[in-house]
């Protein structure tokens, strides 16, 4: 899902991807060395297409449009391995969290009529994600600065809770929750700065894509959603175990 050390979302928003995954880091003096890292940052989720039907405060409804979420946070960790000076493999695990902002589109509620526009939402989405990334360091890993780019497949488990829905001065309680596990993928890029021979601090960006299909489904609500995507940016702190060290 990516990496990031202190900057709280994600990513993620929820990569995901999250996640995530959400992100990455790399600098290898000795080929064949392992490294570990922790990251944290901000997750900026894209809007998600959404259509659904069910009950709002006991009244039948149907809706079609998009759901937007606020900037959230991303945290996680990684384990990496230096294949050679220009190629690295990495496993990332991350957590993305964000809150709903609004629904924009058409809403029909039995007894109240049809509305077109934006309605505030109260609730949140949390995503745990994991990725297997292959990373390329175009200029190698011998200098103080190590730029890199990479990508990989993964999975994401998202759970959401929709508390209420506000429209035209009315706030309708929903209290619906649901979850799903989906295929995911990420693209990461960044640069690491060597602080000490085995310690690095990096700035990292990650794009997360989660193949969600029913995000927003729950008790009393049947939903069909588009894929979830977003951007994470943050800091990564990474420690390298030199080859031959215990």
Give 127-159 pLDDT, tens digit per residue.
Answer: 999 999 999 999 987 778 999 999 999 999 999
Instruction: Show the domain range for 213.
Output: 34-241
Evaluate whether residue 133 is within a structural domain: yes
| Distance between CA atoms of residues 191 and 27, nearest Å | 10
Evaluate whether residue 188 is within a structural domain: yes
How high is the pLDDT of residue 205?
96
Evaluate whether residue 224 is within a structural domain: yes
Evaluate whether residue 29 is within a structural domain: no
Residues of the chain with pLDDT under 70: 1-32, 242-246
How high is the pLDDT of residue 207?
96
How high is the pLDDT of residue 32?
67
Evaluate whether residue 21 is within a structural domain: no
How high is the pLDDT of residue 85?
87
Please say whether the beta carbons of 195 and 237 come within 8 A: no
Residues 6+ apart with CB under 8 A from 133: 24, 89, 90, 91, 92, 150, 151, 152, 186, 188
Evaluate whether residue 18 is within a structural domain: no
Evaluate whether residue 5 is within a structural domain: no
pTM: 0.81
Evaluate whether residue 111 is within a structural domain: yes
How many structural domains comprise the chain? 1
The CATH code of the domain that includes 165 is 2.40.160.20
């Amino acid at each position: 899902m990516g990496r990031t050390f202190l900057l709280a979302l994600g990513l993620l928003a929820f990569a995901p991807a999250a996640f995530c995954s959400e992100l990455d880091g790399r600098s290898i003096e000795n080929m064949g060395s392992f490294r570990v890292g922790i990251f944290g940052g901000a997750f900026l989720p894209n809007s998600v297409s959404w259509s659904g039907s069910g009950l709002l405060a006991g009244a039948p409804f149907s809706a079609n449009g998009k759901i937007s979420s606020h900037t959230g946070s991303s945290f996680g960790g990684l384990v990496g391995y230096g294949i050679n000076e220009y190629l690295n493999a990495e496993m990332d695990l991350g957590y993305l969290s964000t809150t709903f902002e609004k629904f924009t589109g058409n809403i029909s509620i039995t007894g109240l009529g049809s509305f077109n526009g934006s309605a505030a939402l109260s609730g949140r989405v949390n995503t745990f994600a994991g990725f297997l990334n292959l990373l390329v360091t175009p200029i190698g890993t011998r200098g103080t600065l190590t730029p890199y780019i990479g990508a990989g497949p993964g999975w994401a488990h998202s759970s959401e809770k929709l508390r209420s829905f506000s429209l035209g001065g009315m706030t309708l309680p929903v209290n619906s929750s649901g979850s799903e596990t989906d295929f995911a993928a990420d693209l990461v890029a960044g640069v690491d700065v060597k602080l000490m021979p085995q310690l690095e601090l990096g700035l990292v960006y990650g794009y997360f894509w989660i193949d969600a299909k029913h995000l927003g489904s729950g008790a009393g609500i049947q939903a069909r959603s588009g894929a979830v995507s977003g951007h994470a940016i943050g800091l990564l702190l990474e420690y390298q175990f030199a080859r031959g060290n215990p």
